[in-house]
Amino acid sequence: MSGIKPFAIPEEEFEEEYVRPSSGPGGQHQNKTENGVRLQWNVAATALLNDAQKERLRVLAAPYMQGDLLVVMERSSRSLARNREHARERIRELALAARPEPRKRRPTKPTKASKERRLKEKAARGRIKALRSGRDPGN
């Protein structure tokens, strides 16, 4: 992996709520147990990210943001433990994606040779079109 260090969000920064029902097989048991997870992480209060990273995270995770809270619902499994793990991993992946600073674009100028090539190609294309229209291509 590139120069990114391991990243773990402390448990105390999460606020967790169990919701019902979770999807998947399970019959009547599924209808009466709370094994879906609603996990919240207060982005504004965390010390793990600097201000620029927090702003990038807000943009990246816009569908999951509710004010300063990053909220993830996970109900894909009928296992509470698996849903908790998946929700934490989704938040971790979003936070990791916001960490690296995007590269700055360095403006470049076209070279003299590339300008000449462009003008030559343009003139050749103009001659082809002039031949099609019946005009004199010499002018």
Give the three-class secondary structure for 9. Answer: coil
Per-residue pLDDT tens over the stretch 95-132:
999 988 888 989 999 999 999 999 999 999 999 998 88
Burial class (CB in 10 A: 0-12, 13-18, 19+), 57: buried
Average pLDDT, the chain: 85
Look up the CATH number of domain 11-98: 3.30.160.20
Per-residue pLDDT tens over the stretch 19-36:
876 555 666 666 667 788
Structure tokens at 21: 């029902």
Residue type, 55: E
Task: Please name the helix (run of DSSP H) or strand (run of DSSP E) that holds residue 131, with its range, or none.
Answer: helix 112-133
Model pLDDT, residue 41: 92
Residues counted in the chain: 139
94 vs 8, more confident:
94
